[in-house]
């Protein structure tokens, strides 16, 4: 019996390879662009491969954008934000999902309603509040809001809690758990995928955030990574190849976080209907 390559299988592979190329080419272009000289970067029509390969862009950008100290600040902000978001939002979400109190649903609507206000509108009042609290030029304004609950995170966690059958709650109650124990010992462990999703979202958002650091930070030693990368762009001349190199370096932590959380993350996206 002669072995025949099934036609649909070939078509399938071709389709997958083509899709992979569509994803890969822009990324590779970015990598190659980060290895060009300014002169080569400015060439038109552009050459795809860097020639000569300018590896020193990475060391230059590391020094110029002050990566070593900015990375630490960015990590502090991102990690504190993740902890804050996970604790506060899940706690609030638990209350909205499981506890009974007057005006519960109205309050939840109000929380969701705040999502409709564009963030830029509240920048000046927020700035004045932080100024009066004496928190300007500290990292606090960048992560502290996450400790007070974020509407999107609350919504996400509430959906997750609502999916847990009431029987678990009742069983825990019979065993003598108080509401906090039910939340901490029963509900949280059951919602790991949602927590992982939330952690990745928060981490990525904070890691890449640019507006708040620009507005609240003044001293060099408090700057976060996005400011470092942005500070490479000048009013009159921007070394684009350095900018690209910097952006690629700052991608690494996000990749790491994503790889660790991937298993839960994909599951979480499925159950919460997010992609």
The answer to whether the beta carbons of residues 195 and 86 sit under 8 Å apart is yes
CB atoms within 10 A of CB 44: 5
**Which region among 70-78, 92-100, 177-185, 250-258 touches another protein (by CB under 8 A)?**
177-185
Of the residues 35, 77, 78, 80, which one makes contact with another protein according to CB under 8 A: 80
For residue 15, state whether it binds another protein (rule: CB under 8 A). no
For residue 25, state whether it binds another protein (rule: CB under 8 A). no
Is 93 in a helix, a strand, or coil? helix
Is 72 in a helix, a strand, or coil? helix
Of the residues 6, 52, 118, 234, which one makes contact with another protein according to CB under 8 A: 234
For residue 29, state whether it binds another protein (rule: CB under 8 A). no
Nearer to another protein among residue 64 and residue 69 (C-beta): 64
Cα–Cα nearest to 111, from 163, 159, 157, 149: 149
Dmax of the chain from CA atoms?
Answer: 83
For residue 52, state whether it binds another protein (rule: CB under 8 A). no
Kindly state the smallest distance separating residue 84's Cβ from another protein, in Å: 8
CB atoms within 10 A of CB 69: 14
Of the residues 225, 232, 244, 245, which one makes contact with another protein according to CB under 8 A: 232
For residue 260, state whether it binds another protein (rule: CB under 8 A). no
């Amino acid at each position: 019996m002669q072995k025949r390559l099934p036609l649909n299988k070939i078509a399938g592979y071709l389709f997958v390879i083509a899709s992979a190329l569509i994803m890969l080419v822009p990324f590779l272009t970015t990598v190659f662009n980060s290895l060009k000289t300014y002169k080569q970067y400015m060439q038109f029509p552009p050459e795809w491969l860097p020639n000569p390969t300018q590896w020193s862009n990475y060391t230059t950008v590391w020094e110029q954008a002050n990566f070593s100290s900015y990375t630490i600040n960015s990590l502090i902000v991102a990690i504190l934000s993740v902890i804050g978001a996970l604790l506060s939002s899940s706690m609030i979400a638990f209350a909205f999902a499981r506890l009974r109190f007057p005006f519960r649903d109205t309050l939840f609507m109000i929380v969701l309603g705040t999502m409709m206000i564009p963030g830029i509108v509240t920048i000046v009042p927020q700035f004045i509040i932080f100024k009066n609290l004496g928190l300007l030029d500290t990292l606090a304004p960048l992560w502290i809001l996450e400790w007070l609950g974020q509407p999107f995170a609350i919504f996400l966690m509430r959906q997750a809690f609502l999916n847990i059958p009431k029987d678990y709650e009742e069983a825990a109650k019979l065993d003598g758990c108080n509401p906090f124990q039910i939340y901490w010992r029963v509900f949280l462990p059951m919602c790991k995928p949602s927590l992982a999703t939330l952690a990745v979202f928060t981490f990525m958002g904070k890691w890449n955030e640019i507006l708040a650091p620009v507005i609240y930070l003044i001293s060099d030693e408090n700057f976060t990574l996005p400011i470092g990368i942005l500070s490479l762009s000048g009013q009159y001349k921007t070394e684009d190849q350095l900018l690209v190199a910097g952006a690629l370096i700052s991608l690494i932590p996000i990749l790491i976080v994503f790889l660790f959380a991937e298993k839960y993350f994909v599951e979480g996206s499925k159950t919460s209907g997010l992609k």
